[in-house]
Amino acid sequence: MILLQQGRKILATFFLIGVLMITTACGGGAVSQLDRPTTPSAIGRDVTYAELERGNTPGGETFGNWVVQASQGLVQDAFVRDNNKLGVVISPKVRPNEVRPLAKSLVQGFHKNFPKQDLKVLIYAPDKQLILTTEYDNQTNQVKYT
């Protein structure tokens, strides 16, 4: 029974990765540099977690909402800041060995929607503790995990 549950979780993770790759490759609408905010981000100010919006630009908010909806429960929350930083809070369903493939899929989808710039994807545990940072270097097309 446990093997069946683990298999379903792994299958769901790969399904999410496939959905993210296919939907971002088949459209998704690229966001232009004009969507960059003119006001500073709310991060760093005295605001509670619940007061933070999904994105501080219209394109960022749309992408953050899409990530949560398309994840089929693997991502509890998402936020986009300055069209180059994506933060996601994963659900307890995501196993430790599934975090890195999920992060890679998210950075690929993020790059399709916000091209021609360096990007950062921050993965948070359900308790909102940072567990993985993924950085995409636009010049070298390399992904680095820390």
The predicted model scores a pTM of: 0.66
Instruction: Give the 3-state secondary structure percentages of the chain, helix then strand then coil, rounded to 5.
Output: 40, 20, 35
Residues 88-130 have pLDDT tens digits of: 999 999 999 999 999 999 999 999 999 999 999 999 999 999 9
Phi-psi domain of 116 (left: phi exceeds 0; alpha: psi -120 through 50; beta: other):
left
Residues 8-34 have pLDDT tens digits of: 777 666 666 765 656 555 554 544 444
